Amino acid sequence: MTVKITSSKKNELVLEVTIPLKATLLHGEQCIEQVLNEAGVIASAELLQRFDTDGGAIQVGPTKLTSKGRVEKAYQTPYGEARVKRHVYQTAKGGATFCPLETQARILNSATPKLAKMISHKYSKLSVDEVKLDLQSNHGRALSRGYIQKVSETVGVLAQAKEEQWSYTTPLLETPVATVSLGLDGTTIHLREQGYRETMVGTIALYDAKGERLHTTYIGASPEYGKAVFKHRMEREIKRINALYPDALYIGVADGAADNWSFLTPHSSMQITDFWHASEYLAEAAEAIFPGKKEQRQKKEWLDERCHKLKHLKGAAGRILKELTQKIPDIRNKSRLQKLNKAITYFTHQKSRMNYYAMVQQALPIGSGVTEAACKMIVKQRLCQSGMKWNEKGASIILSLRTLERSSRWEQFWGKINQFGVAY
């Protein structure tokens, strides 16, 4: 297997590749991968050289820098390690060095942007050991666990640093946005030395006039006391969406936690308690009212009928609350009474936000399923795998990467790196 340069012009590199044809297809494909990686390393080294200076003095802000000469360094590419001699600069007084090639080529921790994008995308979905194995098995790249984490951390920190500076566009939608649903919820992750703590997830879902979901933006933040970072991120995204769709109807959808409503109410003209949470409390009430094994059929019929009424009949929440209250004298068992009282308390506090009949009639969202799904998709699938414990920074990096990718912003993010660079 050989790769050699046959010609190199200003904007073109021609390589000659020799590939032996092995007896089995698998061995042949492995040879192809190896030689193409070798070609990729050679081409990457040539490409990197084109981002270097000619060695003349340069000005960085008010500071004049001069070259110390060309110093060789290894850069990691998707194909292998490319060693490149490039100019390194310093002031006349010495001090920190500066490499224009790395700035112009958008190098992140000695990784080319393509490799950094590849690593961080995989790391957002897989454990570091799985990423290491995937790179080795499927790309012929042997990288250490530490390097994979370091590159991913750099990308995540950059994403966080640019949150307020870089704005992202929503995908081009075929139908107009009629409704914007705002939701937030929490789920737990295991932090080192702190145990299980709540991490917050928010969703901003766009719907058309028929109630079809068109697009969702996801927001996440690692565990924090007071939730200030999460709320700031959520408010910033709501403001951006509001600027795009000022005439849409904004609805806050959440479970019954008081803190949810104190946040959502100023940002929405309507608030609705998640229908499925209300159904769960009705199920608790059904357990209290029909505890016996012989009453299972009655319990199911009662529950199905109350859920149907709650969703499709005007004023059903008030009538169901009255019915539940009337059941109190019939129940003597303490645990059953506790279940019934929980349902009564929930309906008492949430009744004003249970106008499901009107919402269904107008094809408006009545459930926070998209937000609960986000808790699983953004947080649980990656941060709650067997035996995982995190520090706050590590969890925050993962959440930033996953929300970018799930919100259809991944390519936009890397486009902005390509355009504006990697300085924080």
Tens digits of residue pLDDT in 127-179: 999 999 999 999 999 999 999 999 999 999 999 999 889 989 988 898 999 99
Asked whether residue 215 falls in the same domain as residue 352, the answer is no
Asked whether residue 304 falls in the same domain as residue 327, the answer is yes
Q: How much is the pLDDT for 182?
A: 98
Residue 1 in this model has a pLDDT that exceeds 80: no
Asked whether residue 199 falls in the same domain as residue 312, the answer is no
Domain that holds residue 202: 179-274+367-408
Q: How much is the pLDDT for 22?
A: 81
Mean pLDDT of the chain: 95
Residue 106 lies in a domain: no
Asked whether residue 321 falls in the same domain as residue 211, the answer is no
Asked whether residue 382 falls in the same domain as residue 260, the answer is yes
Asked whether residue 217 falls in the same domain as residue 352, the answer is no
Q: What does the H/E/C string look like for the chain?
A: CEEEEEEEECCEEEEEEECCCCCCHHHHHHHHHHHHHHHHHHHHHHHHHCCCCCCCCEEECCEEEEEEEEEEEEEECCCCEEEEEEEEEEECCEEEEECHHHHHCCCECCECHHHHHHHHHHHCCCCHHHHHHHHHHHHCCCCCHHHHHHHHHHHHHHHHHCCCCCCCCCCCCCCCCCEEEEEEEEEEEEECCCEEEEEEEEEEEEECCCCCEEEEEEEEECCCCCCHHHHHHHHHHHHHHHHHCCCCEEEEEECCCHHHHHHHHHHCCEEEECHHHHHHHHHHHHHHHCCCHHHHHHHHHHHHHHHHHHHHCCCHHHHHHHHHHHCHHHCCCHHHHHHHHHHHHHHHHHHHHCCHHHHHHCCCCCCCHHHHHHHHHHHHHHHCCCCCCECHHHHHHHHHHHHHHHCCCHHHHHHHHHHHCCCC
Residue 347 lies in a domain: yes
Q: How many separate domains does the chain show?
A: 2
Q: What is the pTM of this model?
A: 0.91
Residue 137 lies in a domain: no
Residue 213 lies in a domain: yes
Tens of pLDDT along 224-246?
Answer: 988 999 999 999 999 999 999 99
Asked whether residue 320 falls in the same domain as residue 247, the answer is no
Residue 113 lies in a domain: no
Asked whether residue 196 falls in the same domain as residue 333, the answer is no
Residue 424 in this model has a pLDDT that exceeds 80: no
Asked whether residue 343 falls in the same domain as residue 328, the answer is yes
Residue 290 lies in a domain: yes
Tens of pLDDT along 307-333?
Answer: 999 999 999 999 999 999 999 999 989
Asked whether residue 237 falls in the same domain as residue 280, the answer is no
Asked whether residue 269 falls in the same domain as residue 373, the answer is yes
Asked whether residue 270 falls in the same domain as residue 385, the answer is yes
